[in-house]
């Protein structure tokens, strides 16, 4: 499959995941789709809770699913929400959780119409604290 087709699939799947969001409190659905090094796509949506602080973001839902399914190497993530007039990035907590698995990911910040801004995790979280920093 061509790279452009894979990106289109990733974008499409993050929008499908957004439609599954459980967000009765914020009414702010978010979808994420992670592309693994071996070409699999794993999705996530935000899952809120009546105890608000227990909410899990779409990106973290996706990475936790991916790890459970045996993936630890990732090349890209697409994220989308319902904001139409600008590109919205992952929250700081999610950036940190993603960087656990490297900073060399492409990140596609995706609007509801499918247009996207391409960046990298390294750009979104410069000078990150990462597993290498634990080496004594």
Q: Is 108 annotated as a binding residue?
A: no
Q: Does 80 bind ligand THU (CB under 6 A)?
A: no
The span of 56-64, 66-74, 106-114, 123-131 binding ligand THU (CB under 6 A) equals 56-64
Q: What are phi and psi of 29, to 5 degrees?
A: -75, 140
Q: Look up 59 and say whether it is catalytic.
A: yes
Nearer to ligand THU, 5 or 19 (CB): 19
Q: Does 30 bind ligand THU (CB under 6 A)?
A: yes
The span of 25-33, 70-78, 104-112, 114-122 binding ligand THU (CB under 6 A) equals 25-33
CA distance linking residue 80 with residue 87, whole number of Å? 9
Contacts of 127 (CB under 8 A, 6+ apart): none
DSSP state of 113: T
Q: Does 98 bind ligand THU (CB under 6 A)?
A: no
Dihedral, 111, 116, 125, 52 alpha carbons, nearest 10: 20
Q: Does 57 bind ligand THU (CB under 6 A)?
A: yes
């Amino acid at each position: 499959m061509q790279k452009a087709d894979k990106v289109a699939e990733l974008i499409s799947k993050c929008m499908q995941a957004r439609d599954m969001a459980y967000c009765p409190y914020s009414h702010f659905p978010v979808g994420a789709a992670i592309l693994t090094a071996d070409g699999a796509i794993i999705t996530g949506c935000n899952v809120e809770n009546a105890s608000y602080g227990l909410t899990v973001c779409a990106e973290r839902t996706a990475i936790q699913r991916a790890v459970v399914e045996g993936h630890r190497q990732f090349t890209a993530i697409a994220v989308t929400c319902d904001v139409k007039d600008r590109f919205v990035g992952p929250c700081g907590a999610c950036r940190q959780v993603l960087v656990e698995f490297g900073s060399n990911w492409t990140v596609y910040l995706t609007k509801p119409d499918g247009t996207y801004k391409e960046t990298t995790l390294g750009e979104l979280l410069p000078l990150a604290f990462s597993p290498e920093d634990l080496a004594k």
